Chains A and B, each alone.
Chain A
Amino acid sequence: MAETCELFDCGHRACGGCGAALVSRLILKATGKDVIVVSATGCMEVFSTPYPETAWKVPWIHSLFENNSAVASGIEAALKKQGRKEKVVAIGGDGSTFDIGMLCLSGAFERGHDFTYICYDNEAYMNTGIQRSGATPYDASTTTSPAGKCSIGNSRPKKDLPQILAAHGAPYVATASIAYPSDVVKKIEKAINTPGPCYVQIHAPCCTGWGFEGEKTLAIGKLAIETGLWVNYEMEDGVVTRVKKVVRKPVETYLKEQKRFRHLFKPKVNAEEIAKIQAIADKNAEKYGTDLKLKSKPDPVVP
């Protein structure tokens, strides 16, 4: 049998049905081999490179949680000095991007390094055992925001990081979801070919942390978009230029598929909290104009 010529190779230790593993494959599909990848600590780093093995077939360097963008900045500056044309891609999970690496990320964007930062957003610290992060959505149960008698899960909404980075003056900021793989590839291609610091945030459902069967990874990602809880959009120079439009479904269809929202349905349906999550989806839809307007059929004329 012919060997695959994948740049992200088989044999990595991600869970079966891992969203982040698919993100790594899509990133390298978009960048090709002329790239230097900087990867912060996180699930992706741990499952792809347990010493002395690596699944990467491109130059790859591991940084800490916090200095991912600083390492990428240094590499970019060195390449520029040497007149080399390789692209620099920094990859971090949502914990590294939203919380711990925020300082260096902001610094690198402010200095205007020509690199692309990709965040695979699985909405908690999955590698260390599902602790909440700045990206954890409202009401999700994690080990540090457990749902119970006195708690309804994570009490804070998700941080809007793409808007923060767009405010740094980034020329290209985009959100994508692995539910639409070709869209992910297209956005990463656009990001690496845009001069200046660019940011792509990719929704990567995590079967272990969110509590669903591994085969449903893409289906869950699709539901997040169809309910309006995740919006796929592109921002160029701070202006939203393209939005994925959908015919919206009620948020329950997304929530009830996942164990981290189980407390909203059992022992009894918590209509009040579900209404709050629906309000978040409604606000997203209004802000980005994601609602697809179906042409209403004209009423049949009664003779």
Chain B
Amino acid sequence: MALGLGCSSRPGKARNNKTGSWRVFKPIFDHDKCTKCGMCKTICPEGCIEESEDEFFVPNETYCKGCGMCAEECPSDAITMEQEEK
């Protein structure tokens, strides 16, 4: 018997919601100081830090809420937060 109850959604459809618009401060990554440890990618609550082809880490600005956790936890202080002009 087929049940018609409940609601369903396509996996990962939350991507429609561009949470980057919430941001006040923006992380700036200094690739000269970066040791490629990947801490920022591991701890980002958004999961929006991506690894580029040259293995550096880049935040996806469409979704980054600018919480600043990456800047706070970066062991080599390679990330700084700057107020964003929109």
Contact = CB atoms under 8 A, between A and B. Distances in A.
A54 B12 contact: yes
Contact of B60 (A1, A48, A216): A1
A222 to B, nearest CB: 10
Given A11-B14, A19-B45, A51 B67 contact: no
Interface residues of B, number: 37
B12 A55 contact: yes
**Main SS class of interface, A:** loop
B13 A215 contact: no
A3 to B, nearest CB: 8
Contacts of A54: 9-14
B33 to A, nearest CB: 18
B77 to A, nearest CB: 13
Interface string A1-38: 11110101111111111110110010000000000000
Nearest to A216: B72
**Main SS class of interface, B:** loop
A53 B15 CA distance: 8
Given A4-B48, A11-B17, A17 B9 contact: no
Contacts, number: 117
Contact of A49 (B9, B22, B23, B46): B9
A11 B63 contact: yes
A77 interface: no
Nearest to A17: B67
A121 B65 CA distance: 23
Contact of B16 (A2, A11, A49, A218): A11
Which among B9, B10, B58 has the highest number of chain A CB atoms within 10 Å? B9
Interface of A: 1-4, 6, 8-19, 21-22, 25, 48-49, 51-58, 178, 181-182, 213-219
Interface of B: 7, 9-19, 22-23, 42-48, 50-52, 58, 60, 62-63, 65-69, 71-73, 81
